[in-house]
Amino acid sequence: MRLTFMRHPAVEFATRRCIGQTDIDLSTAGKSTLKSLTEKACHLFPDHLLSSDLKRCRLLAERIADRLRIKPVFDPIWRELDFGFWENRTWDAIQHEEAKAFSEWVADFVTTPAPGGESFSQLQHRTLTAISSIDPISSNVLVVTHAGVIRAAYSAFANLPLSRAFDYNIPYGGLFHFRKDGPCICGG
């Protein structure tokens, strides 16, 4: 099975906020790329379209599905990392108001969750569970999702430690190809 992950378009960051599962809108620039990203995705000719249910992924997935005339499946399992009580707060406020928890998380984001949230290893487990549940008869699956999910999958498929997950760039609208039945990993 060919499995392609596509990151959602750009989002609005008026202030530097902790945005994981907070349901925010696309930026003006992100909205302006919807047409070109839809075209890019349609050239893959996926037979199944899966997506995070958050608006920043949903908007793109709906356009792709309309264009290809396939039914998208929206599922919270494809959501970004859950930052719990830190969601939608500024990073400066978190660092100032919860200095100890913040420094513990920075020192080991792989196994330390944000308060009330999930760790990166928990995100990877959720992502790999989602991948393993994809119908094996699917031949070409497109997943519209978030950078954290893509990093978690890439780390697993490339057999890299999660601590190195931020070593590679995941651009808005970027495509990342995997093969569920083998080690092929190609960014693009």
**Domain of residue 181, CATH code:** 3.40.50.1240
Looking at the 3D structure of the chain, how many domains does it have?
1
Q: Is 88 left (phi over 0), alpha (psi -120 to 50) or beta?
A: left
pLDDT at position 188 over 60:
no
- Terminal CA-to-CA distance of the chain, rounded, Å? 18
Angle at 30 (CA atoms; ends 19, 41), nearest 5 degrees: 105
Give the amino acid at 150: I
Q: Are 64 and 141 in contact, with CB atoms under 8 Å apart?
A: no
Q: Is 14 helix (H, G, I), strand (E, B) or coil?
A: coil
pLDDT, tens only, 127-169: 999 999 998 777 899 999 999 999 999 999 889 999 998 888 9
Helix, strand or coil for residue 156?
A: helix
List the domain range (segments joined by +) for residue 144.
2-187
**Residue 129 has what pLDDT?**
95
Mean pLDDT of the chain: 92
What is the Cα–Cα distance from 117 to 87, expressed in whole angstroms? 9
Contact 33, 12 (CB under 8 A): no
User: Would you say 32 and 11 are in contact if contact means Cβ atoms under 8 Å apart?
Assistant: no
- pLDDT, tens digit (0-9, with 9 covering 90-100), for 81-118: 999 999 999 999 999 999 999 999 999 999 999 999 99
pLDDT of residue 14: 58
In this structure, the number of other CB atoms found within 10 A of the CB of residue 185 comes to: 16
